[in-house]
C-alpha cells in the first residue's frame, strides 16, 4: 500500500495528464489495447510511465517531479472514468494558473456533453467547484465555466443544484460588455434553465434588461435573448411580468422584412404567445400598464404595431405568415 504522499503525487500526475493534448486520447486507447494484449499474452506489464511514452510520444518526467504528462484529452471524453473526472476537478480547485484552469474546464465541458458524466460530476460535488469559477478574475475562465454549466444544466437533476447560481449568471449578463462571449455564454445557460417553468420566477426582474439587449445586441445576442423570452412567454404565470416590463419603443423597428428571419420569426412567436396569454389574463383580471411597458409598446397604441404586421403579411415565408395569423386571430 502506498503512502498518502504517493497517492497525492499520483492524483496530480493523473490530473495534468488529463489536460495534455489532441494526441492524448488516442494514446489512452493504445495504452488500454497494449495492456489487454499483454494480459492475454501473460507478459510482464511495463510501468505506466513507459506505456505513456510509447503510445503518445510525450516525454514523461521522473516520479520525483510529481507529473506525468498526457494520456487523455477531450477528443472522446465519454471514456473518462470517475477517477479521471475527480482528478481534473481537484486540479481546477487547487490550481492558481489560469491556463490550467481553462484547460481543466474545457475537459470537463466536453465530458459534460455526455449524460452519464453529467450525473457523475454532480455526484463528485463538481457542480459547485465549476460554478465557483464564475467569480474568476480571468474572463476567459468565466466563459469556459459557463460553457461547462451549459452542458450540465441540460440535466434536470443538475438544475436543482445549480439554480442557486442563476442570480450570479444574470448579474454577469447585466454587467458584462455588450455582445461579449461572456454574454452569449450566460444566455445559453439561462436558455436551459428557462425550458421548464421551474425557475422563471428567478428571471422576472431581469426582463427589462432582456428587452434592452434584444434591441441593442447583435443577431447572435438577439436570437439567444429570444429563446429565453419565448420560453418565459409560454408560461401564463409570467405573462403579466413580461407585459409590464419596461421596453424600448425602438423594439418595433425589429418587426421588419429586412430583419434576419431567425430573429423576426422568434419575435413573432413571442408576441403570439403573449397575445394568447393576454386573452387569458383579461378573462380573469384587468391590469393597468405603464406607458413604457411592453404591453403599451405592442398593444397599447395598436396602430404602429398593426402597421408593421400589415407590411409583414407580404413576407414570403410560411412560418412567418403562420405566426402573424396567430397574432391577428387573437
For the chain, the average pLDDT equals: 82
| Per-residue model confidence as pLDDT tens digits over 207-232 | 999 999 999 999 999 999 999 999 99
Predicted confidence at residue 69, as pLDDT, reads: 32
pLDDT category of residue 288 using cuts at 50, 70 and 90? confident
What integer is the mean pLDDT of 275-279? 89
| Per-residue model confidence as pLDDT tens digits over 11-57 | 545 555 555 543 344 444 444 444 444 444 444 443 333 332 332 23
| Per-residue model confidence as pLDDT tens digits over 172-213 | 999 999 999 999 999 999 999 999 999 999 999 999 999 999
User: Exposure pattern of 44-61 as b/e (b: 16+ CB <10 Å)?
Assistant: eeeebeebbbebbebebe
The answer to whether the pTM exceeds 0.95 is: no
Contact 265, 227 (CB under 8 A): no
User: Percent of the chain at pLDDT above 70?
Assistant: 75
pLDDT category of residue 303 using cuts at 50, 70 and 90? confident
Predicted confidence at residue 280, as pLDDT, reads: 79
The answer to whether residue 121 scores a pLDDT higher than 90 is yes
Predicted confidence at residue 75, as pLDDT, reads: 43
Longest pairwise C-alpha distance within the chain: 85
Amino acid at each position: 500500500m502506498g503512502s498518502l504522499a504517493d497517492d497525492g503525487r499520483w492524483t496530480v500526475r493523473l490530473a495534468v495528464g488529463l489536460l495534455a493534448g489532441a494526441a492524448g486520447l488516442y494514446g489512452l486507447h493504445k495504452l488500454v489495447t497494449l495492456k489487454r494484449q499483454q494480459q492475454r499474452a501473460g507478459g510482464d506489464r511495463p510501468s505506466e510511465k513507459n506505456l505513456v511514452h510509447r503510445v503518445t510520444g510525450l516525454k514523461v518526467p521522473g516520479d520525483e517531479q510529481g507529473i506525468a504528462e498526457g494520456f487523455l484529452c477531450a477528443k472522446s471524453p465519454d471514456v473518462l472514468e470517475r477517477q479521471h473526472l475527480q482528478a481534473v476537478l481537484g486540479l481546477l480547485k487547487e490550481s492558481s494558473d489560469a491556463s490550467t484552469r481553462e484547460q481543466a474546464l474545457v475537459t470537463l465541458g466536453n465530458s459534460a456533453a455526455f449524460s452519464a458524466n453529467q450525473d457523475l460530476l454532480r455526484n463528485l460535488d463538481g457542480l459547485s467547484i465549476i460554478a465557483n469559477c464564475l467569480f474568476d478574475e480571468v474572463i476567459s475562465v468565466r466563459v469556459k465555466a459557463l460553457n461547462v454549466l451549459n452542458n450540465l444544466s441540460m440535466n434536470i437533476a443538475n438544475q436543482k443544484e445549480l439554480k442557486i447560481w442563476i442570480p450570479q449568471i444574470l448579474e454577469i449578463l447585466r454587467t458584462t460588455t455588450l455582445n461579449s462571449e461572456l454574454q452569449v455564454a450566460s444566455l445559453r445557460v439561462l436558455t436551459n434553465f428557462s425550458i421548464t417553468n421551474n425557475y422563471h420566477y428567478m428571471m422576472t426582474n431581469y426582463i427589462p434588461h432582456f428587452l434592452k439587449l434584444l434591441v441593442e445586441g447583435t443577431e447572435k445576442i438577439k436570437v439567444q435573448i429570444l429563446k429565453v423570452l419565448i420560453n418565459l412567454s409560454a408560461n401564463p404565470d409570467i405573462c403579466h411580468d413580461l407585459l409590464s416590463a419596461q421596453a424600448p419603443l425602438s423594439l418595433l423597428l425589429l418587426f421588419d422584412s429586412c430583419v434576419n428571419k431567425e430573429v423576426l420569426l422568434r419575435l413573432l412567436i413571442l408576441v403570439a404567445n403573449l397575445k394568447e396569454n393576454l386573452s387569458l389574463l383579461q378573462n380573469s383580471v384587468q391590469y393597468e400598464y405603464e406607458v413604457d411597458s411592453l404591453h403599451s409598446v405592442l398593444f397599447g397604441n395598436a396602430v404602429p404595431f398593426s402597421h408593421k404586421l400589415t407590411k409583414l403579411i407580404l413576407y414570403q415565408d410560411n412560418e412567418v405568415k403562420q405566426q402573424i395569423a396567430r397574432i391577428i386571430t387573437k
